[in-house]
Amino acid sequence: MTSTFTIPAQLVTDENNRLFAEVASALSCSGCHKAGCQAKGRRFPVTTSVNEGPVGVDIKVSDFGLLLVNSLGLPLMGLLIGAGLGRFWGVHEGLQFGLAIAGLGLGVVSCRAYAQSMIRISSRKEAPCTS
């Protein structure tokens, strides 16, 4: 059995009558929204037969881990390796900083984009309120 992360979403249509699952902006976006950002959330195209009701945006835990390692892990690892090499070679602090930035850059360049097919849109049942 594979575990998945599910984020609640709502179905919306655009001006061309295409169906999207829209994930509401997170709490971390509230500062950006107050600063004038008008983004409502992230939209994912719906290609399944989901027509109405609550939906969820699903991603497998293993795929989510792969995305995290690729998008955050590689740049961080490059930064630490660059700084570690500078420290190991005993170079000046300014050069250590430069090596850390170069390692970060190499880590960012080595990241790759994954297909959006890792994300699935599915119907979900509303959980009854128990309070």
Model confidence over 11-50: pLDDT tens digits?
Answer: 888 888 888 888 876 545 555 555 555 556 778 788 767 6
Interval 46-87: pLDDT, tens: 876 766 667 888 889 999 899 999 999 999 999 999 999 999
Pairing of strands 19-24, 55-60: unpaired
b or e along 47-74 (b: 16 or more beta carbons within 10 Å of the residue's beta carbon)? eeebeeeebbbbbeeebeeebeeeeeeb
Q: Tell which wins on pLDDT, 13 or 105.
A: 105
Q: How confident is the model at residue 91 (pLDDT cuts 50, 70, 90)?
A: very high
What's the predicted TM-score (pTM) here?
0.63
The predicted structure's pLDDT at residue 122:
80
The predicted structure's pLDDT at residue 10:
83
The predicted structure's pLDDT at residue 29:
55
